Amino acid sequence: MQRIVLLGMLIFLGISGLMAQEALTLEKALKISETGSPDLQLSLLNLERSQKNLEAQRAALKSRLSLDVTPVNYSNQRRFDTRTSEWYTNESWTSNARFLISQPILPTDGTISLSNDFGWQNSTSDANNVTSKRFYNNLYLNLNQPLFTYNRLKIQLKELELNLENANISYALQRLNLERNVTQFFYNVFMAQKNLEIAKEELANTQKSYDIIKNKVDAGLAAKEEFYQAELNLATSKSTLQNNEVNFENAKDQLKLYLGMDLYEDIIVLADIEANPVQVDLDKAIENGLESRMELRQREIDVETSQFALIETKSLNEFRGDMNLRFGFSGDNENVGQVYKSPTRSPSVNIGFNIPIFDWGEKKARIAAQEATIKSQELNLSEEKKQIIIGIRQVYRNLRNQLNQIDIAKQSDINAQLTYEINLERYQNGDLTSMDLNLFQTQLSSKKLELAQSLINYKIELLNLKIQSLYDFETGAPILPAELYLNKNNTTEK
């Protein structure tokens, strides 16, 4: 009865363990990584930061409204009157508010503002024992315009737009890299799992040969050294199985960490690694890669950003002017309704210039340094194109080589299986030693792993070609990251 209860518990625990273990396909792993991958989340946060910085800059180009209120301001000061050469004491109470509307002008990099100061003042002076209580209002329209310099507002806005586009590209590239990394981690787990399965088969075969030789030794039909060798082979197979179990668990942890999964959740991977040959047009791959690879646009952005930096460098010690035009009305009266009974016009014009004389060659040297930076960025753009061509060529060659390797690995696997079966029969008949049979068993396991690895290598190289050329030859369609072009179009429309 106790044995039946124990067996029932073991069956229940085994079923529970299977139910708790999640089966993971490559498609499911990619879907999980889109929301759980830390690398993709960091890239998305960088994209959001660039987007918000651009939104903030665009908001700063709109009218700003502000209100400064001083409910109470009291002062009692001893002053000197230069007209009468006498000292006097002035006591004042004031209350005022200032309303300001400021509007940046994007086409000219100027600023136009409208301000209105309204308040009340109670002032007493012992110089003539007179007390003044009056309301006042000052209304001004002001224009400030830089002259003979570059438009800083436009440069700042364009730089932020390029930063956003660059962040979009980085995010799209991260998604492509995510697919490659997830695929690599996934197949690492699959190979570790395959190693474990083959180790179990090898242990079963070794156990079988061990039982055969043990029976022969017990019957006096084989020498004891054959039994000792069989024991050694069995111990080696058990050790290999344990090592593969450890490697399998480690590979699963790495995959779960990269996907952002719960580390305590057990998984098993399911994959179809059969590789169907795909027709690849090398010229089309290179052409599409040069037209679509986003790294080229990143290098172009680097060139544009360097050119903006050159404009800023040229503004060092520059000849610059500033014009300030102001026009307004001021009025005061004891009656608040008659503040503008006798208004005073207050126009003003101010034009100033900053004229550099001699900077000991600083500006010239900094401009030369920035021009060298631009040339280096242009060189990087040219070299990036060459790297794209070389990368696609290498992947194309690797794909063709992998197809040959797959054919060789399939035939080697068949031959190793047949060889092992023939020599197992020889071993059973006593025509082969345990050591020799173990060599054929090791060869069989090795060829099975080589076949699986060659199939996986072909799939990974096919994925590399898709990433390198941004063209999926399996579906016959180009790859255009929707997030990148959607955000880019929104930026342009705004």
Q: Which of 192, 273, 208 lies closest to 240, judged by CA? A: 192
Q: What's domain 21-53+156-306+369-493's architecture?
A: Up-down Bundle (1.20)
Q: Which of 93, 88, 86, 78 lies closest to 126, judged by CA? A: 88
Residue 472 has pLDDT above 80, yes or no: yes
For the chain, which residues make up each domain, given as ranges?
A: 21-53+156-306+369-493, 66-105+110-148+320-355
Percent of the chain with pLDDT over 90: 46
- What confidence tens digit (pLDDT) does each residue in 366-394 have? 999 999 999 999 999 999 999 999 999 99
Average pLDDT over residues 157-162: 94
Q: Which of 194, 184, 260, 220 lies closest to 26, judged by CA? A: 184
Residue 2 has pLDDT above 50, yes or no: no
Question: Do 72 and 95 form a contact (C-beta atoms < 8 A)?
Answer: yes
User: If you average pLDDT over every residue of the chain, what do you get?
Assistant: 86
| Between 64 and 128, residue with greater pLDDT | 64
Q: Which of 291, 195, 278 lies closest to 474, judged by CA? A: 278
State the Rg of the chain over Cα: 41
Please report the pLDDT score of residue 192 as a whole number.
93
Please report the pLDDT score of residue 397 as a whole number.
94
Please report the pLDDT score of residue 20 as a whole number.
57
Q: Which of 199, 187, 280, 302 lies closest to 241, judged by CA? A: 199
- What confidence tens digit (pLDDT) does each residue in 192-224 have? 999 999 999 889 988 988 888 888 888 877 778
Question: Do 218 and 233 form a contact (C-beta atoms < 8 A)?
Answer: no
Q: Which of 71, 69, 75 lies closest to 116, judged by CA? A: 69
